[in-house]
Structure formats: structure tokens, C-alpha cells
Amino acid sequence: MNSDSDLQIAGDILEVPHLLQPPREHPSTVAEFAGLARSIAADRSQWEPLVRYDATTRWYHRLRTGPGYEVWLLSWVPGQGSGPHDHGPSSGVLTVLDGTLTERTRRGTRALRPGAQRVFAPGYVHEVVNDALEPAVSLHVYHPGLTEMTMYSARCAPRAVHDASAAPTTA
């Protein structure tokens, strides 16, 4: 009688080279970009010494680049926000590293705590704000690298397109 429970693997499956994929040097799928963000988040020594807080504007630092993608580190003091925006032709992964951020969309509002990730496609409109009393830090992966963003009014009507090739003003 054959059933799924009759299947057994003899020996070490890792010794069968044609079943293994070689590790990639750079991410290329949504899951790999989210994994990259999680691995950076898990290694505080990689990002924590770089963080700065600025009371007048959100601080940001490009942490890494690769073929077709960028990784940015952002800090948010209480009250700072991005304004409603999209990321032009870029997809992204937003990961909260420290503190709590609030994401607002047409569908509602959600609190994003450390470890929370938001994966978004081109054209996704949101606003990210630090509504908490403590500073927050977030990590952003953009693919392709962030080159433009559309800012929206509170009613989500297009307001302007900004070149963001030098630095993100977004979340």
C-alpha cells in the first residue's frame, strides 16, 4: 500500500547537490527582501550605533545598496511623520526596529511595534507617524531603489512628485 506516510528519505538530503539552490548574494524576491530586513533588524550592532535623532526633521541614513535595491535606516521623534505618500515605481518593506509607529491608509490605522513588517507594492498610499511618546527607528528596503514619491493631501489627492534619489523623505 502506498501512502504519503510510506515516503522516507534515506541518508542526508543535504548531500544531494542538485536539490540545493546556491545561496544568492542579493535578494530578488519579496520574501528575500523581507528576510533581509529581518536579518538586519536582528543584528542591533549593525544599525543601532548609526541612529541619530533630530527634532526638526526625520533623520535617515542609507545603510546598504545592491543591484536594484536600497536599505534605509530612519528615526522618528514623537510627532514626526511622513505625510501621505506612495513610493513611485518602487516596492518596499517597512520594518519597525524600536518604538511604535502608526500607519494610516484609506482602509484604517494600525500600530506597528518592533518586529512589525509592512510589505507594499508600487502605488501603495500610506502615512507613517510617530504618535507615541518615545522615539522610534525603522528600516526600509526599496526595490527598485527609491527614485520618486508622490505626496498626497489628507484626502489622498495627488499633490506633487518629488525626486528622492539622494534621500528618502518617506516611509
Please count the other Cβ atoms lying within 10 Å of the Cβ belonging to residue 37. Answer: 23
85 is in an annotated binding site: yes
Give the whole-angstrom CA distance, residue 129 versus residue 1.
60
Query: How many CB atoms lie under 10 A from the CB of residue 95?
Result: 23
Ligand-binding annotation for 126, yes or no, is yes
Contact 96, 47 (CB under 8 A): no
Cα torsion through 9, 11, 12, 13, rounded to 10: -30
140 carries a ligand binding annotation: no
Nine cell digits for residue 156: 489622498
Which segments are annotated as binding site for Fe cation? 85, 87, 126
Which segments are annotated as binding site? 85, 87, 126
